[in-house]
């Protein structure tokens, strides 16, 4: 079986380079559903001599890692990629380079560098869609989300999420989305679901942990160390439409901003009345795309203080800045913030 798989490996998919690069000889790559992990793995194999790609989720066979070690030795394979790994292998081949791919961020393997592949950021989306017009690209990005295939098939995103999420997980997401700002309110979700079926708090909390581990949801933490309050966002902002009937473009844009911030690798915070807070630059972010600029500026003035050096307002208004006594206020479009400010 291994010989057949080795001689009939999948071909490299159409690929546009991502910002992430695999640099370590031993890498454990994580990523959410449809983030492009497999495409990156196939590209990685195509760039190496005598490489072997194998899919651990293929139902036609079960990987025997002891047999795989012997096969790698016999074939003198120098680069191995194991996709869709769910558990820590009991043994791994003696190979020059190994790339392991998993959805479970909690998976840890000694000697392997853990790397996270998120969905497309706005700049990558522009490269994939080949649309240079900012307003058109923004509208397409907002509609389709940041998973690779969703620009072609939104149904594929829905199928992939539903197929990889338990019934309780789907109910928990749907119920939590009823709360404004996607504020994480596990107690309220528990009380509502408990009225319809038997459920324990531990089971519900564990389900949210699984959803976070799989990269379906993520949390913004409160910068106040004394607060345990946090906000839930989707790792692909298009997912919100699967659970909420009403349109709320401001909340979608807020989720889009969260995804862009998460791509920087820094912990995402919110602080007081700021939607997001960037500790390194001491910048507060307000997502106010449809508020008249004079009202948005008034809100910023009320929040200005000596701890904040900069207030960024994500707005449809014309780009401009205004100096206050304690900080500077900058109006930016989402595109300017994503492609310019965060670079």
Task: Evaluate if residue 180 carries a pLDDT over 60.
Answer: no
Give the CATH fold of the 2-117 domain.
Answer: Rossmann fold (3.40.50)
Q: What is the arithmetic mean of pLDDT over 146-175? A: 78
Q: Could you tell me the pTM of the whole model?
A: 0.88
pLDDT digits (tens, 9 = 90+) for 236-265: 998 888 888 777 899 999 999 999 999 988
Q: In this predicted model, what pLDDT tens digit does every residue of 98-140 receive, in sequence order?
A: 999 999 999 999 999 999 999 899 998 888 877 768 888 899 8
Rounded to an integer, what distance in angstroms lies between the CA atom of residue 113 and that of residue 107? 11
Hey, which bits of the chain come out as E strands?
A: 26-31, 51-55, 79-83, 97-102, 113-117, 217-222, 230-234, 269-271, 274-278, 283-287, 310-314, 320-323, 328-332
Pairing of strands 97-102, 79-83: parallel
pLDDT at 151: 46
Query: Each residue of 206-244: pLDDT tens digit?
Result: 999 999 999 999 999 999 877 778 899 999 998 888 888
> Rounded to whole angstroms, how far apart are CA atoms 168 and 193?
9
pLDDT: is 19 or 332 the higher one?
Answer: 332
Length of the chain: 343
Q: What is the DSSP string of 186-247?
A: HHHHHHHHHTTS---HHHHHHHHHHHHHTTSEEEEEESSTT---EEEEESSGGGHHHH--S-
Please state, in angstroms and rounded to a whole number, the distance separating the CA atoms of residues 240 and 237.
Answer: 6
Q: According to the model, what pLDDT value does residue 213 have?
A: 93
Mean pLDDT, residues 335-343 taken together:
88
Mean pLDDT score of the chain, rounded to an integer?
89
């Amino acid at each position: 079986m291994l010989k057949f798989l080795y001689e009939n490996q999948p071909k490299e998919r159409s690929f546009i380079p991502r910002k992430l690069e695999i640099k370590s000889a031993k890498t454990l790559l994580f990523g959410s559903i449809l983030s492009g992990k497999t495409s990156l793995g196939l590209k990685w194999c195509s760039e190496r001599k005598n490489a072997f790609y194998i899919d651990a989720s293929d139902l036609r066979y079960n990987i025997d890692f002891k047999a795989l070690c012997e096969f790698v030795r016999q074939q003198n394979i120098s680069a191995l990629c194991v996709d869709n790994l769910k558990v820590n292998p009991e043994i791994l081949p003696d190979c020059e380079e190994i790339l392991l791919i998993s959805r479970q961020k909690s998976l840890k393997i000694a000697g392997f560098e853990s790397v996270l592949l998120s969905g497309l950021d706005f700049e990558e989306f522009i490269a994939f869609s080949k649309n240079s017009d900012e307003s058109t690209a923004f509208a397409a990005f907002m509609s389709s989300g940041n998973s690779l295939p969703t620009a072609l098939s939104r149904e594929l995103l829905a199928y992939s999420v539903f197929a990889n999420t338990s019934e309780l997980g789907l109910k928990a997401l749907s119920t939590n989305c009823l709360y404004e700002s996607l504020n994480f309110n596990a107690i309220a979700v528990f009380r509502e679901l408990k009225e319809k079926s038997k459920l324990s708090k531990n089971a519900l909390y564990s389900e949210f942990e699984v959803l976070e581990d799989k990269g379906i949801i993520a949390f913004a933490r409160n910068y106040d160390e004394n607060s345990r309050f946090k906000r839930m966002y989707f790792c692909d902002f298009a997912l919100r439409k699967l659970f909420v009937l009403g349109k709320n473009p401001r909340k979608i844009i807020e989720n889009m901003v969260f995804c862009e911030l998460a791509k920087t690798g820094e912990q995402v915070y919110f602080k007081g009345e700021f939607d997001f807070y960037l500790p390194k630059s001491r910048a507060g972010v307000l997502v106010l795309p449809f508020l008249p600029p004079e009202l948005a500026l008034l809100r910023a003035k009320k929040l200005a203080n000596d701890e904040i050096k900069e207030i960024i307002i994500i707005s449809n208004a014309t780009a401009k800045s205004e100096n206050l006594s304690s900080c500077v206020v900058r109006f930016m479009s989402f595109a300017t913030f994503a492609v310019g400010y965060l670079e």
